[in-house]
């Protein structure tokens, strides 16, 4: 492993405010220490206790952890529950009229849904799905705009034991097709169009295109929610309108009781090689992770107005929109639009309008809002806010300070939460009533999460030194397997080289400082983090190579002040080296191509052409050289193994 050096040197410390120290759900270091010690002393008993405290069981579990088939761990595996029952029915007796969702549309319209109303909507759709022949264990793709209906669709699947797989509405028909076929989806729930930032994007037409690509015979039904009312293609043999099938469906739907390990959903995410991975989560363990983190990290209070800005197409929108807040009985905001439409103060306007108390977003959004209007938050009344959160990538200290001072008015702690699609819920994050904050650090592992930094053999390493971030003990909300690919699951997350496959390998490099604070440094694999979204370099490379003009392509990341990382592609064309006057045309053609193949988020920011790529004599592309070139750095590395050194000059000049 090359030495990983840290460049951050942050010494500011923000202790918990008096308010949090007194009123935090976990307040004071004694309470925190007690939890940590309890977890360390008896890991299983600790989690069993949480599972009994938070989850409503239809049939209680007697076995906490089954580790007989490592690394395919099972938690609470003889217990039975229903996740939708835990998110909705449990509140019907105590707070049926509490607002569950405050929906803010792209145009600024507000729709409120109470727990009673949400329960009815979910039951109606669940009954309708059953009537269409969707059963327990069937896979349903959800390709929806950010509206109440997206959550209703997820919850309805959970209610009948169907396994949902949400595909982000920004993904192309090709990406959608890949997910439909890998999942073997029986139904697709979509909308005519989505409306974001004043623009309409076709969803139903994209679904049709994906289905027409072949190998999609598993899809029997397409359920279409009418969002915009535009004319869309409709196949009466296969397609049904959401409003038609739910109209006369009953308001009640007995939940399907499932085993704790029954898959709640799969969610596709990028890896370093090949195709996206279908991360498979369980029902009980996953739900538990979202609930304890709501309680510990977001310090959830019944009076909160909670707002996680993530789309349900990502794990953050699963855990902290569709499941965690509802299971806790919270009132939450769901926003259909974008932070900058119709003006750059939209986020702050919504906080002000709905008196948001807890606001959770990504550093990339924060950086773009700083750029568009650093003083804009001052124009709004943000006094309702009490807690801020950050997720998706390391937050740079300048952005942290702006968020803290301008948005939180130096009153609100910022919980910087490190976790992944695969971990299901927060792993390393501060408990705001206990842990002092350091800008840029996600602070300390949660109680019951055995995170550590190790070297390439799995040995613990000294504070201050960079290494691999691992989690040494199994935890309830972890990924169970990769859909249809248990071998890849084992190899990727529990590699033999590291402690004989005993540890969960996160794929991040990090270091711990002398106070035990974790600092995330970046990925150790070929995965880019663009605007908080994971993109595999290989995925973009394969998309480029699929273009008839392209012979070879290599993709690397380079730092970007808003997006975190920008995508830089080095491309060898099939024909002659492009003339100066044709370059711009080819660049825009290839960018559009990648948008079509994967989705606009994967568009290369920069494309450089070469007659070849820098390769070793054995034909391996030397990516570290490409990274240096992309960043405009002088090449100081050893290039003696390089087959064609002259190519470096060409690629350096090629932009």
Could you count the other beta carbons within 10 Å of the beta carbon of residue 363? Answer: 24
Q: Which of residues 40-99 bind ligand PRX (CB under 6 A)?
A: none
Q: Running DSSP on this structure, what letter comes out for residue 9?
A: -
Q: Give dist(CA 156, CA 176) in Å, integer.
A: 21
In three-state secondary structure terms, 578 is coil
CB of 533 to ligand PRX, least distance (A): 6
- Nearer to ligand PRX by C-beta: 418 or 570? 418
Burial (CB count within 10 angstroms: exposed 0-12, middle 13-18, buried 19+), residue 257: middle
Which of these segments, 43-51, 105-113, 372-380, 391-399, binds ligand PRX (CB under 6 A)? Answer: 391-399
Q: Give dist(CA 651, CA 609) in Å, integer.
A: 7
Return the HEC string of 167-179.
Answer: CCCCCCHHHHHHH
Binds ligand PRX by CB under 6 A, chosen from 192, 299, 336, 508: 508
Please tell me whether residue 320 binds ligand PRX under the rule CB under 6 A.
no
- Residue 480 CB contacts under 8 Å (≥ 6 apart), including other chains: 72, 73, 74, 261, 263, 280, 281, 282
Q: Which of residues 516-545 bind ligand PRX (CB under 6 A)?
A: 520, 523, 529, 534
- Nearer to ligand PRX by C-beta: 159 or 534? 534
Binds ligand PRX by CB under 6 A, chosen from 315, 370, 446, 602: 315
Please tell me whether residue 555 binds ligand PRX under the rule CB under 6 A.
no
Site string for ligand PRX, 258-297 (x = CB under 6 A): -----------x----------------------------
CB of 193 to ligand PRX, least distance (A): 26
Please tell me whether residue 420 binds ligand PRX under the rule CB under 6 A.
yes
Which of these segments, 12-20, 105-113, 385-393, 576-584, binds ligand PRX (CB under 6 A)? Answer: 385-393
Closest CB to ligand PRX: residue number: 421
CB of 145 to ligand PRX, least distance (A): 20
Q: Cis check for the bond before 342: say yes or no (omega within 30 of 0).
A: yes
- Nearer to ligand PRX by C-beta: 76 or 489? 489
**Residue count, binding to ligand PRX (CB under 6 A):** 21
170, 337, 372, 539, 572 from 368: Cα distances, Å: 19, 15, 6, 26, 33
Which of these segments, 48-56, 412-420, 559-567, 589-597, binds ligand PRX (CB under 6 A)? Answer: 412-420
Binds ligand PRX by CB under 6 A, chosen from 225, 298, 307, 419: 419
Q: Cis check for the bond before 71: say yes or no (omega within 30 of 0).
A: yes
**Contact status, residue 76 vs residue 282, Cβ threshold 8 Å:** no
Please tell me whether residue 547 binds ligand PRX under the rule CB under 6 A.
no
Binds ligand PRX by CB under 6 A, chosen from 27, 86, 113, 316: 316
Which of these segments, 240-248, 321-329, 386-394, 594-602, binds ligand PRX (CB under 6 A)? Answer: 386-394
Q: Which among 557, 580, 559, 581 is positioned nearest to 570, based on CA atoms?
A: 557
Q: Which among 421, 422, 420, 410 is positioned nearest to 385, based on CA atoms?
A: 410
Q: Give dist(CA 419, CA 226) in Å, integer.
A: 34
Site string for ligand PRX, 435-454 (x = CB under 6 A): -------x------------
Count H helices and E strands in the chain, helices first.
Answer: 21, 30
Which of these segments, 84-92, 297-305, 411-419, 450-458, binds ligand PRX (CB under 6 A)? Answer: 411-419
CB of 493 to ligand PRX, least distance (A): 12
**Contact status, residue 93 vs residue 119, Cβ threshold 8 Å:** no
Name the site residues for ligand PRX (rule: CB under 6 A).
269, 315-316, 391-394, 416-421, 442, 506-508, 520, 523, 529, 534
């Amino acid at each position: 492993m090359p030495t990983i050096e840290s460049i951050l040197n942050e010494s500011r410390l923000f202790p918990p405010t008096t308010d949090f120290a007194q009123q935090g759900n976990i307040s004071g270091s004694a309470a925190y220490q007690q939890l940590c010690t309890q977890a360390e002393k008896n890991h299983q008993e600790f989690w069993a206790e949480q599972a009994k405290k938070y989850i409503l069981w239809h049939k209680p579990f007697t076995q906490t952890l089954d580790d007989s088939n490592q690394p395919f761990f099972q938690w609470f595996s003889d217990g039975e529950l229903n996740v939708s029952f835990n998110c909705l029915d449990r509140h019907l007796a105590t707070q049926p009229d509490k607002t569950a969702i405050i929906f803010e549309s792209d145009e600024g319209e507000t729709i409120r849904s109470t727990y009673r109303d949400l329960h009815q909507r979910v039951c109606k759709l669940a009954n309708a799905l059953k009537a269409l022949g969707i059963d327990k264990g069937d896979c349903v793709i959800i390709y929806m705009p950010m509206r109440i209906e997206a959550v209703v669709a997820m919850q309805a699947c959970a209610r009948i034991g169907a396994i949902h797989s949400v595909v982000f509405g920004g993904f192309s028909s090709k990406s959608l097709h890949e997910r439909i076929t890998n999942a073997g989806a029986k139904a697709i729930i979509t909308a005519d169009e989505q409306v974001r930032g004043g623009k309409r994007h076709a969803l139903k037409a994209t679904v049709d295109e994906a289905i027409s690509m072949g190998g999609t015979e598993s899809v029997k039904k397409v359920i279409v929610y009418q969002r915009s009312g535009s004319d869309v293609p409709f196949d009466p043999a296969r397609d049904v309108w959401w409003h038609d099938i739910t109209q006369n469906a009953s308001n009640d739907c007995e939940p399907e009781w499932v085993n704790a390990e029954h898959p709640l959903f799969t969610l596709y995410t990028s890896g370093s090689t090949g195709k996206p991975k279908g991360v498979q989560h369980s029902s009980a363990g996953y739900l538990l992770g979202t609930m304890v983190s709501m309680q510990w990290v977001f310090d959830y209070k019944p009076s909160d107005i909670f707002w996680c800005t993530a789309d349900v197409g990502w794990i953050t929108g699963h855990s902290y929109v569709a499941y965690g807040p509802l299971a806790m009985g919270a009132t939450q905001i769901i926003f259909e639009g974008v932070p900058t439409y119709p003006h750059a103060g939209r986020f702050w306007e919504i906080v002000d309008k709905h008196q948001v108390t807890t606001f959770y977003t990504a550093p990339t959004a924060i950086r773009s809002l700083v750029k568009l209007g650093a003083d804009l938050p001052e124009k709004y009344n943000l006094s309702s806010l009490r807690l801020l959160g950050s997720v998706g990538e390391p937050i740079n200290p300048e952005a942290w300070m702006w968020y803290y001072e301008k948005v939180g008015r130096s009153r609100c702690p910022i919980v910087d939460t490190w976790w992944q699609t695969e971990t299901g819920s927060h792993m390393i994050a501060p408990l705001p009533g206990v842990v002092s904050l350091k800008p840029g650090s996600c602070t300390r592992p949660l109680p019951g999460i055995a995170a550590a930094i190790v070297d390439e053999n799995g040995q613990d390493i000294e504070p201050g030194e960079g290494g691999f971030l691992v989690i040494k003990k199994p935890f309830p909300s972890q990924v169970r397997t990769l859909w249809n690919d248990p071998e890849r699951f084992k190899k990727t997350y529990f590699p033999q080289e590291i402690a004989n496959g005993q540890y969960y390998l996160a794929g991040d490099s990090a270091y711990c400082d002398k106070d035990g604070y974790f600092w995330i440094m970046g990925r150790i694999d070929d995965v880019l983090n663009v605007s908080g979204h994971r993109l595999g370099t290989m995925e973009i490379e394969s998309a480029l190579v699929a273009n008839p003009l392209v012979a070879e392509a290599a993709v690397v990341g380079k730092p970007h002040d808003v997006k975190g990382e920008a995508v830089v592609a080095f491309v060898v064309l099939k024909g002659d080296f492009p003339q100066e006057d044709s370059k711009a045309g080819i660049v825009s053609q290839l960018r559009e191509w990648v948008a079509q193949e994967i989705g606009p988020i994967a568009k290369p920011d920069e494309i450089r052409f070469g007659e070849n790529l820098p390769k070793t004599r054995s034909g391996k592309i030397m990516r570290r050289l490409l990274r240096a070139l992309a960043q405009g750095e002088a090449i100081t590395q050893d290039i003696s193994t390089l087959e064609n050194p002259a190519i470096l000059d060409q690629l350096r000049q090629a932009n």
